[in-house]
Amino acid sequence: AQTVTQSQPEMSVQEAETVTLSCTYDTSESDYYLFWYKQPPSRQMILVIRQEAYKQQNATENRFSVNFQKAAKSFSLKISDSQLGDAAMYFCAYRGEGNTPLVFGKGTRLSVIA
Amino acid sequence: DTGVSQDPRHKITKRGQNVTFRCDPISEHNRLYWYRQTLGQGPEFLTYFQNEAQLEKSRLLSDRFSAERPKGSFSTLEIQRTEQGDSAMYLCASSPGQGWNTEAFFGQGTRLTVV
């Protein structure tokens, strides 16, 4: 079974600075998708960014980018120019072949300090 | 399109009672998922539907849990004889179903407290 590990329960960053959230995963599949979801307090989870495993180029969405290392099974999220609104729980998630349900990590709580 | 809607948002029930939650997915989304999230944990998969067919159930889904999606539209999740360990946030998500790179859209969840 696939597993997703987020080793940082909590992180903090100064406003306007850059922070990197870590994620590793375990799978025997060769083709899959990886996602980062954001869950603000008392609000619904929303997609931040996604990465296709067969694409070597790292995905980027405005201030959010990933560092995808397939051989190392690592998928970190970098948030640049952090804003107060970035404060939330961030979940790394894996979707395997055949459109299987998402498998989530335990999350990282990000605080942004003004 | 108003997004994924879940009802109720909060439910407090006494141990041993039955509860039922409802999820209305984004219209025309074929896939509907139920997850459970406890404090300090990520969402854990419970079950999912492709249209009205329930395709997979997690071993987390004990016999006290049942889910339905009649007519492939809204879905209900029922928990019978609730236990304190059932206290959690129950999340519903939907996706178009075509292609497995598609985003899953989540509702705001139903928070269950069993006292």
The sign of the CA dihedral B93, A107, A3, A18 is positive
Nearest CA in chain A to B47: A101
Closest CB to B42: pick one of A97, A99, A105: A105
Distance to chain B for A18, nearest Cα, Å? 24
CA dist., res. A38 & res. A7, Å (int): 17
The CA distance from A87 to A92, in Å, is 16
Q: Indicate the burial class of B110 (C-beta count within 10 angstroms; 0-12, 13-18, 19 or more).
A: buried
Quick check: B10 pLDDT over 80? yes
3-state secondary structure A9-39: CEEEEECCCCEEECCEEECCCCCCEEEEEEE
User: Rounded to a whole number, what is the distance in Å from the CA of A94 to chain B's nearest CA?
Assistant: 11
Degrees, nearest 5: CA angle A3-A101-B42: 55
Q: What's the half-sphere exposure (Cβ side, CA atoms, 13 Å) at A63?
A: 13
- Binned at pLDDT 50, 70 and 90, residue B71 comes out as confident
Determine contact: A100 vs chain B, CB below 8 A. yes
Residue B100 token pair: 């497995």
Does A4 contact B42 at a Cβ distance shorter than 8 Å?
yes
Give the chain B residue whose CA is nearest to the CA of A105.
B42
Name the pLDDT band for A94 (thresholds 50, 70, 90).
Answer: very high
| HSE (side-chain half, CA atoms, 13 Å) at A22 | 10
- What percentage of residues in chain B have a pLDDT greater than 90? 77
The structure tokens listed for A78 are: 């970098």
Chain A residues within an 8 Å CB radius of B100: 33, 95, 97-100
The arithmetic mean of pLDDT across residues B87-111, rounded, is 87
Task: Measure the CA–CA gap between B79 and B67, rounded to whole angstroms.
Answer: 9
Residue A97 pLDDT > 80, yes or no? no
Please answer yes or no on whether B41 and A95 come within 8 Å at the CB atom: no
Q: Indicate the average pLDDT of chain B.
A: 92
CA distance A96 to A52: 11
pLDDT tens sequence across B12-44: 999 999 999 999 999 989 999 999 999 889 999
Which tens digits make up the pLDDT trace of A54-85?
888 999 999 999 999 999 999 999 999 999 99
Residue B25, beta-bridge partner list:
none
